[in-house]
Amino acid sequence: MRDISGASWVASPELIRFCESVEKNGSLFEREMRKLSIPVIDLFLEEGRIVPASFEFSGENLDAAEDVSRILKAFPNLYSATGCRVLKASGRDRPVVTGRRVAVIFSGGPAAGGHNVLVGLKMALGVDNTLLGVRNGPKGLLAGELFEIRESDLAQIINTGGFAFMGTDRTKIKTKDQFDQVEAVCRDQRIDCLVIVGGDDSNTNAAVLAEHLFQNVHSDGRGVQVLGVPKTIDGDLQVGDLLPISFGFDTATKTYSEMVGNILQDTLSSRKYWHFVKLMGRSATHVGLEVALQTRPTVAFISEEIAEKRLSLSQIVDTICRAVARRAARGMNYGVVLIPEGLIEFIPEMKTLISELNEVIASSSELLLDLDTIAEKKEFILGRISEDSAKLMATLPDEFEDMLLLDRDSHGNLKVSQIPTEKLLIEMVSARLREMKANPDLFIGERDDRINLTPEEVKRFVESKFATNSHFFGYEGRCGAPTRFDAAYTFNLGLLVGSLALAGKTGYIAAINALDRGGQALAIPLVGLIHMEHRQGKDEFVIEKTMVKMDSPAFKFFIENRERWATEDCSASPGPRQLWGPVSSQLPMLIALNQGYNSLKFDLGEERKIISD
């Protein structure tokens, strides 16, 4: 008789050897990724070799975001060094520098392409200068955790996702002691230039550090240059047409778009679920807008529009219920709703409620500790907020009430990103649909504020099922292997920031624009981006986050089409990220639309094999 238990199976020795080598060198995919050629901006090439660029005034001055007298007071050295003048990279008089020590740090959340910044930076510095990596982000910088990045490391990290090679964290360097600590580390490790790869907050920190370290760090009176590289999947670090996008946005949105596209295909196949998908992206809704443009979901909310139109939570619930009822009336009991991560904070009444709760909880923290039960704490807090906020609280499901009351971060703020808004909306929409089905006459009819359905459609809606699933797509998008755009963009950003380091510049963020026509490498002065904002009761200098603009071509395209997406099945499935072939050169739609490009195709120069086999 044949043994079918598997006990006598023998694996092929050849295959075992192959599996062992995959185990050592990463997956087949990772191996092939390392070999992927990368487009290089023409300017960084000379006789086929990669070389650093020099810089000259581009002819463009930024309109300072802040009153210049305030900037001069807070950043006197930096302002005198850079002013608001934008520089452009040039192939003339390339810097010939040796012996410079540059340290690079990742700051904040991971984003795809960070490792290619390191590869580009190292190649721009060449063999005559040293690149040091900082372990574990700003926390590691304060502790002086630096190591040398060697040429042999590049072959391992090129085109790989995540920030794993060095690690990252969110420590904010803000106290005088911390600035002095950074200064001491720079002195001890003889650092000439610090490159900060981060988002709006980290680049604000870069400006403050650039001012602090401007001079007298080393015994000969020299300071330390500080430069920034624009990173964040949120896409909210943009400077008009000078800096169209931060790196990591393309990979994150293509990853989410694939997942949302697949779910849309599932709804069309099984025809029985409504999926509520929350998308990472913190406050701004660039991620949500791009995914909506790519996939055409049934309903998608843009937080900035909610704030602009001052929509209430109840109106948001109503928008979904109308789409559900209209579709149910036609026998379509399925759909996908996209919800931005920060939605809650943009609903004016919720914003007021959250800030009132924050204030009561912060000012009564000791009294609250003395109360034993959640019910007692709840009664105490609810008695101290406005009547409108208390009424709004009463409409929220219990689980969310508790979350709003109790969960605070170390600064005393509500952890909004952890609020499962997708589940909150499912509960509220389900409750409203039950009401609508029980009393259809109150909601359906010919008046403008009602849904106009025929008696037969009303019957179909009342008898319909509303089955739901919730999802949160976030961390999945931050560390995937970079798309071809992010791989190329970050490698060139690395070459650019390395060139700025060799050219002795400080207080700039590296930027590349003209993404559809070969790429133009620029340096934007950080002081030109800084403005004053009131945060947690204090005035602070910050780089403002770029939000979705209501008059932007991408948003207008979305609103012109969303009604059709809600009623008809016209979803798109962008599929998995492509690294080879025609689809691989596609830019985010939002960027191409807003920058006025003629096509979605990016062009950052000719492809080069960066590391030889």
Q: Binding of ligand FBP at residue 419 (CB under 6 A)?
A: no
15 membership: H or E segment, kind and range: helix 13-25
Q: Binding of ligand FBP at residue 480 (CB under 6 A)?
A: no
Instruction: Output 108 or 480, the one with its CB closest to ligand FBP.
Output: 108
Selection from 610, 604, 491 nearest residue 41 by Cα: 604
**Do you know the residue count of the chain?**
613
Helix, strand, coil percentages (3-state) for the chain, rounded to 5, are 45, 15, 35
| List of long-range contacts for 549-557, beta carbons under 8 Å, 24+ apart | 549/304, 550/304, 550/305, 550/308, 552/593, 552/594, 553/593, 553/594, 553/596, 554/289, 554/290, 554/293, 554/589, 554/590, 554/593, 554/594, 555/289, 555/302, 555/305, 557/293, 557/593
Residue linked to tokens 């959340």 = 109
Residues 93-112 touching ligand FBP, rule: CB under 6 A, are 108-109, 111
| Among the listed residues 199, 507, 528, 574, the single contact to ligand FBP using CB under 6 A | 199
| Among the listed residues 40, 112, 233, 501, the single contact to ligand FBP using CB under 6 A | 233
Cβ–Cβ contacts within 10 Å for residue 123, how many?
24
| Among the listed residues 105, 118, 131, 280, the single contact to ligand FBP using CB under 6 A | 280
Q: Binding of ligand FBP at residue 286 (CB under 6 A)?
A: no
Contact stretch for ligand FBP (CB under 6 A) within 159-167, 208-216, 227-235, 486-494:
227-235
| List of long-range contacts for 378-387, beta carbons under 8 Å, 24+ apart | 378/402, 378/405, 381/357, 381/405, 384/360, 385/353, 385/356, 385/357, 385/360, 386/352, 386/356
Q: Binding of ligand FBP at residue 417 (CB under 6 A)?
A: yes
Catalytic residue among 200, 234, 236, 318: 234
| Count of residues that bind ligand FBP according to CB under 6 A | 14
Selection from 2, 488, 548 nearest residue 496 by Cα: 488
Contact stretch for ligand FBP (CB under 6 A) within 219-227, 275-283, 324-332, 458-466:
275-283
| Among the listed residues 113, 138, 281, 519, the single contact to ligand FBP using CB under 6 A | 281
Instruction: Output 182 or 280, the one with its CB closest to ligand FBP.
Output: 280
166 to 195: interface string for ligand FBP, x by CB under 6 A = ----x-------------------------
| Among the listed residues 115, 282, 286, 460, the single contact to ligand FBP using CB under 6 A | 282
| Among the listed residues 115, 478, 505, 577, the single contact to ligand FBP using CB under 6 A | 478
Q: Residue 539 Cβ, how far from ligand FBP at the closest point, in Å?
A: 22
Taking a C-beta distance cutoff of 8 angstroms, is the pair 253, 447 a contact? no
Q: Residue 416 Cβ, how far from ligand FBP at the closest point, in Å?
A: 9
Positive/negative CA dihedral, 123, 128, 134, 135: positive
Instruction: Output 205 or 499, the one with its CB closest to ligand FBP.
Output: 205
Which segments of 256-389 are extended strands (E)? 274-279, 299-300, 335-340
| Residue nearest to ligand FBP as judged by C-beta position | 108
Q: For residues 229 and 193, give the distance between their C-alpha atoms in angstroms, rounded to a whole number.
A: 13
Q: For residues 288 and 590, give the distance between their C-alpha atoms in angstroms, rounded to a whole number.
A: 11
Q: Binding of ligand FBP at residue 254 (CB under 6 A)?
A: no
Residue type, 225: Q
Q: For residues 132 and 147, give the distance between their C-alpha atoms in angstroms, rounded to a whole number.
A: 5
Q: Binding of ligand FBP at residue 234 (CB under 6 A)?
A: yes
Q: For residues 401 and 240, give the distance between their C-alpha atoms in angstroms, rounded to a whole number.
A: 40
Told to judge if 409 belongs to the known catalytic residues of this protein, a careful annotator would answer no
Instruction: Output 94 or 286, the one with its CB closest to ligand FBP.
Output: 286
Contact stretch for ligand FBP (CB under 6 A) within 155-163, 180-188, 274-282, 603-611:
274-282
Q: Residue 113 Cβ, how far from ligand FBP at the closest point, in Å?
A: 12
Q: For residues 488 and 602, give the distance between their C-alpha atoms in angstroms, rounded to a whole number.
A: 10
Contact stretch for ligand FBP (CB under 6 A) within 7-15, 19-27, 230-238, 581-589:
230-238
Burial 347-365 (b: 16+ CB within 10 A, else e): bebbeebbebbbebbeebe
Instruction: Output 227 or 237, the one with its CB closest to ligand FBP.
Output: 237
Taking a C-beta distance cutoff of 8 angstroms, is the pair 289, 548 a contact? yes
Q: Binding of ligand FBP at residue 250 (CB under 6 A)?
A: no
Q: Residue 170 Cβ, how far from ligand FBP at the closest point, in Å?
A: 6
List contacts with ligand FBP (CB under 6 A): 108-109, 111, 170, 199, 232-234, 280-282, 341, 417, 478
* Residues with a known catalytic role: 234
